[in-house]
Structures are given as structure tokens and as C-alpha cells.
Amino acid sequence: MRLTENTQPAILTVSVAAWRVLDEKGIKPVFAAGHSLGEYSAHVAAQTISFSDAVRTVRNRGKYMQEAVPVGTGAMAAILGMSLDAVAAVCGDAAQGEVCEPANINSPEQIVISGHAAAVERGVKLAQERGAKRAILLPVSAPFHCSLMKPAQERLAVDLQKLQFSAPKIPVVCNVYAKPVEDAESAREALIRQVTGSVNWSDSVQLPIARGVQTFVEVGPGKVLCGLMRQIDRSKKCLNVEDEASLQKTLEYLTTSPVKT
């Protein structure tokens, strides 16, 4: 299960299962979004792609991403308490001819960088010197969401071009552009670009907020996105569904609280 080619379809399956139960209970979202792998779950919920196609694709996605860079060559690190501009400057100064790039812009307080191991290590040191609250290397198997993933992107693009995509039934806010994709080809292109592109999660959440959304439901294992929501906008409600207990708590709130978008 720790191999990413197995982890990715497993997480997708749990996420889609949780969404299907909510759907059967009459809970209908007005937007969908997913963090990295979660964008595939969002597209299954929006009926852009079928569940079976998504499962096969994310298994290959994990395999391609793992094989794109030899083990030990790449790394990722979390930078806490530093602005995006400051992190981008750190990456530029740390690169020294190698790759060091912002990978996950998770919240105003948390940005993950990715690239060659030595460059990322230099980035961690520079961030600490320049006032970051924390800068720590992450225990990951590959440097995701940076230009080192180009071989994986090229292989995945071939698979995605073969799949049947439909126009999403609800807008899906894509990671790369933090904008809704509302047609089949835009959805496909965003999933291709996502492999090497940054996950612009903070802006992806701010978009539905700007359009009046007050309540978010995280589906799938864990509550990481609800934690990030507290850093992005504490005034918004974030619920989660990952098991029976969390399902019942979420349904109770959605069905008995005053109606909120």
C-alpha cells in the first residue's frame, strides 16, 4: 500500500465511495475540487470521467511519477510562515542550475517546494535563514509537481488522450490554474499539466468562496484539507466524510443547520 501506484487508486476509491453515499443522501455540490490526486475524484463526481477509467489512470499516474526520477535524486520540503513571493525567491537562489520550485501552494501559511534533493536542501536552509517559521524535508518517494516530473507527464498524456472525457456536470476547479474547467478538453489538459505544475490549492479554495460558497465537505481519508481551510479562511465551515461516524456528523449538519451554500 505504500507504493504510490497502489496508494493512489486506493485513495481515489475511498474518496469516490464517500462521495457516492453523500450523493445518494441528496447532497449536491455546486463546485468540486481536489488536491493533486483528488482532482480525479472531483472529475468522477462531476461525471467528467468514469470511475473505472480514473482508477486505471491514477494507478499508472503513480507508477509514472515514481519512475520519472531515480530514488534519492529528488526531494520535497514544507516551508511554513513565508509568503509565496519569498518562497519563490528562495527556490530561485537555491536552484544553482538544478530544479527547485514551489509545488503545493497549500495556504498562505504553508508552501511545499520540490526538485533535486541538494537544491531542496539548500532551499530549506535559505528559508530558515530568511525567517520562515519552519522549513522541513518531507518523507516522500519522489519530487512531485515540479519539472522533474516531465517524463511522467508525457507518459500520462498518452493515457489521458485515449480516455472519454465529458463536459463536467458541475464546475471543477483545477489545480494548475485555480479556475473552473467546464468542458472536456480543458479538463483533460489541466490533468496533464498538473503533473509538473504547482497545486494552487489556496487560490482554488478562494474561488468558490468568492462566489458565495460557505460550506465545504472533504471526502476521503483524513482531514488535511479541513486543516488547510482553517489557514485559508477560518470563517468557512469544513466538514469531512471518511467513515460512518464522520458521515453521520456531516449529514446531521447539512440537513439540520440553516441552509448554507
Q: Which one from 36, 50, 141, 246 is the annotated catalytic residue?
A: 36
N- to C-terminal Cα distance for the chain? 37
Q: Which one from 107, 114, 145, 204 is the annotated catalytic residue?
A: 145
Quick check: is 36 catalytic?
Answer: yes
Which cell numbers hold the place of 249?
456528523
Residues 115 and 198 sit within 8 Å (Cβ to Cβ): no
CA distances from 74 to 37, 61, 113, 148 (A): 19, 17, 11, 8
The tally of CA atoms less than 13 A away on the side-chain side of residue 57 is 29
In the sheet that 172-173 helps form, which strands lie side by side, from edge to edge?
Answer: 32-33, 172-173, 180-181
Quick check: is 145 catalytic?
Answer: yes
Tell me the catalytic residues.
Answer: 36, 145
